[in-house]
Amino acid sequence: MTLERLSLRDFRCFARLEAEFHPQVTCIVGRNAIGKTSLLEAIAVLLRLQSPRTGSLQYVIRAGAKGLVVDGFVDRRHLQFYYSAKRRKLALDSVEQKVTTSYLEIARVVYLANSDIDLVRGPAELRRRFLDFLGAQLLANYREILRSYDKALRSRNAYLKMYPSRPREVQAYTKVLLKFGHQLTALRAFLVERLEPEVLRAFAAISDRGEVVCLHYLHGATLDFERALQESAAEEERLRTTVVGPHRDDVQFLLHDQPADLFASEGQQRTLAIALKLAQAKLLATDFSRPPILLLDDVFGELDQTRRNRLLQQLPPASQQIVTTTSLDWLAELPAGRVCRLEEGPAPADRLIVDYPTGSRPVFRPKGPA
């Protein structure tokens, strides 16, 4: 699948931006804080209606603006999305969509960023968001089950917070919470199970050492969910919130049977984070007839040449890649594509995408045999 064009209004730092993309590689160069990451985030929001960086799109609207617009063409299909605190509207080929199903079937995305290392050593919330972002792209009912679980959880917590206590109302929502909780757990377990061999393969391909990686799905409710809920009743009473359940899920990474967040080196952690994203790309490429669009946010800068090349080789072949960077040192290693700069436009919050003027445009060498 190919993203052809993108136009933004009031998205993060952008008042407006128009961009076109190369079917293979588009490399966007720009100084720090010009909005390279936000541009990739906007692509993810356009294609998936959610940001891989934040849970709520509320914070993505440009300060002072009412709502954001992302608009673009993928494989000549026209996607439009408007989001404000009060309203959200989406259209596919200029026809407003009441449900997201057909809109979300147009494109799938993998987002690789420098900050991915936090997937290994950061809070569990990031790993849940990683699973959710993949799940929503891989499984038809993931989004709906996740939303239903979330709503049941918030409703149940609302009753737990009430004085005097409302055991019957809590119990009514407990049943719904259990139902969607079991479903969500099953889907996440399935995702982790499918990810593990791909992570192992990608990790080995990049690090080139025979290291053993394991993924452990740590349930937010040990034992079975129902019993865990019953046993946590006293704690719920004290904290007035649901303390066990899939909203506390986590994934543990083991490197040679040791937790990677504590024992792995920085380099190993970084490789593991990349391997997770590559596994995600692999699953999406395997399950669908066309590879996902890859968004690579400044990932090459931190890697040495060998790992950079290995990463490039591991990307699904024939996938469109949109890459941001601050430096051009390694550009010659990229296959053919377009290189452009992200710059300030005439108005204060406008941004422009400019092709490198001929002459200063870096020369591409065709990628040789591996």
Q: Summarize as ranges the residues that interact with another protein (CB under 8 A).
A: 101, 140-141, 144, 148, 151-152, 154-155, 158-159, 162, 166, 168-169, 171-173, 175-176, 179-180
> DSSP states of 51-95 as a string?
-SS-S-GGGGBPTT-SEEEEEEEETTEEEEEEEESS-EEEEETTE
Closest to another protein by CB, 109 vs 178, is 178
CB of 161 to another protein, least distance (A): 9
Shortest Cβ 20–another protein spacing (Å): 34
* Closest distance of CB 189 from another protein, Å: 18
How far apart, in whole angstroms, are the C-alpha atoms of residue 97 and residue 91? Answer: 5
Q: Write down the least CB distance from residue 229 to another protein, Å.
A: 14
Alpha carbon dihedral 255, 258, 261, 263, in 10-degree steps, equals: -100
State the minimum distance, in angstroms, from the CB of residue 23 to another protein.
Answer: 31
In this complex, which beta carbon is closest to another protein, that of residue 139 or of residue 352? Answer: 139
Give the C-alpha separation, 295 to 39, whole Å. Answer: 10
Cα 346 to chain centroid, rounded? 32
Element (H, E) at 18: strand 14-20
Count of other CB atoms within 10 angstroms of residue 85? 11
> First CA to last CA across the chain, in angstroms?
25
Between 130 and 173, CB nearer to another protein: 173
Is it true that the peptide bond before 164 is cis, omega within 30 degrees of 0?
yes
The distance from CA 349 to its chain's CA centroid, rounded to whole angstroms, is 26
Nearer to another protein, 66 or 175 (CB): 175
- Output 166 or 248, the one with its CB closest to another protein: 166
Q: How far is the CB of 95 from another protein (least distance, A)?
A: 17
Nearest Cα to Cα of residue 352 among 39, 75, 72: 39
In the bound state with another protein, the residue whose beta carbon lies nearer, of 144 and 333, is 144
Q: Which is nearer to another protein, 118 or 169 (CB)?
A: 169
We find the least distance from the C-beta atom of residue 187 to another protein, in angstroms, to be 13
Rounded to an integer, what distance in angstroms lies between the CA atom of residue 22 and that of residue 336? 9
**Is 177 in contact with 212 (CB distance < 8 Å)?**
no
Return the number of the residue (159 or 217) whose C-beta is nearest another protein.
159
Phi, psi dihedral angles at 360 (to 5 degrees)? -90, -5
* Cα-based distances in Å from 314 to 202, 243, 248, 329: 7, 40, 32, 21
Four-CA torsion 47, 136, 318, 324, nearest 10 degrees: 50
- Rounded least distance, CB 141 to another protein, Å: 5
What 3-state DSSP class applies to 12?
A: coil
CB of 183 or CB of 324, closer to another protein:
183
Give min distance, CB of 66 to another protein, in A: 21
**Can you tell me the distance from the alpha carbon of 11 to that of 170, in angstroms, rounded to the nearest whole number?**
39
